[in-house]
Amino acid sequence: MFKTIPFQYDDDLKREIDLRGLSELTFKNYRSQLRRISEHFKKDIKDITVEEAKAYLHHLKSVRRLHPQTLNLCRSAFIFFRHNVVGDYFQTFMLPHHKFVYKLPDILPSVNVVLILDSLTLKYKTVLSLCYGSGLRLAEALAVEIGDVESSNMKLYVRNAKGQRIRYTILSAYSLACLREYWKTYRPPGPKLFPKQNDPTKAKSPSNIQKAFSEKYKKRFPHCNKKITPHTLRHCFATHMLDNGVDLRALQALLGHKSIKSTSIYTQLTDYHFSKLTSPIDRGRA
């Protein structure tokens, strides 16, 4: 992939991303989408017209049947590049935004999560314990630095967060034990706890961890038809925190959600809130 047409806009794209305070992940995602468009048409991304971009989005939707979120990411990358790198301010309605229905995330019982975590290698277990024990996204867990861990008050500073929103979250005793064992075993050379092998200043790639976790879960629970990924652990953290009676606003702060609407979806998944409700038909018969 990406061998036919060279992409020569890394510096320009990165500069515009940085100027707007967007994340490194946004840069990588936009760059990847732009290169895919370029490869599809076998021409420089700067020469792709709006009509061609529209045709490409239709191809992703009707032929490849990709999720609307992927289509919207591709659309955003193209618009950002044309507006801010090329300086071509076309009307964005020419590339329609794709609507989609949000689905409730799959949730696992705590005992199943711990069973899988305990079966993983120390490195993977440590990273993923932060996803479940602290509600981190995988990229946030991989970005953790030594100074982010505050064991004295069981608190964790979250860097590389979505939207660059600074926050603290809780640190579990399980994760702290994993972190201490991991530190003794690996002694990472720089501030990053989970660095790349060839560059200790950068965080480890998530792909191997994602694959290991999903495969381990499928092997341990072969009859489970849920789509299980490391991000499932963040959903589990949120739901199980609500099950334990944590306030929705407090949970919003722990997760780093900009809007309470994003957090409130978990009220549909928790047993705690439903256990306190009584149907009016039952109250009428009481």
Q: Global pTM?
A: 0.77
pLDDT (0 to 100) of residue 286: 61
CA distance 137 to 158: 10
Residue 220: active-site member: no
Q: Is the pLDDT of residue 1 over 50?
A: no
Residue 30: active-site member: no
Residues of the chain above pLDDT 70, percent:
95
Residue 285: active-site member: no
Q: Is the pLDDT of residue 255 over 90?
A: yes
pLDDT (0 to 100) of residue 102: 72
Q: Is 286 exposed, middle or buried (0-12, 13-18, 19+ CB in 10 A)?
A: exposed
Domain with CATH 1.10.150 in the chain: 10-94
Residue 223: active-site member: no
Q: Is the pLDDT of residue 2 over 60?
A: no
- On whether the 110-274 domain is CATH 3.40.50.300, my answer is no
CA distance 123 to 37: 36
At 78-111, the pLDDT tens digits run: 999 999 999 988 898 889 998 876 778 889 999 9
Per annotation, catalytic residue among 137, 192, 204, 235: 137
Q: Taking all residues of the chain, what is their mean pLDDT, rounded to a whole number?
A: 90
Per annotation, catalytic residue among 162, 167, 202, 273: 162
Q: Is 24 exposed, middle or buried (0-12, 13-18, 19+ CB in 10 A)?
A: middle
Architecture of the domain defined by 10-94: Orthogonal Bundle (1.10)
pLDDT (0 to 100) of residue 24: 81
Residue 194 near residue 125 (C-beta atoms within 8 A): no
Residue type, 281: I
Q: Is the pLDDT of residue 112 over 90?
A: yes
- Which range among 97-106, 112-121, 149-158, 239-248 shows the weakest confidence by mean pLDDT? 97-106
What length does the chain have? Answer: 286
Residue 266: active-site member: yes
- pLDDT, mean of residues 39-51: 93
At 14-32, the pLDDT tens digits run: 999 999 988 888 899 999 9
pLDDT (0 to 100) of residue 16: 95
Domain with CATH 1.10.443.10 in the chain: 110-274
Q: Is the pLDDT of residue 272 over 70?
A: no
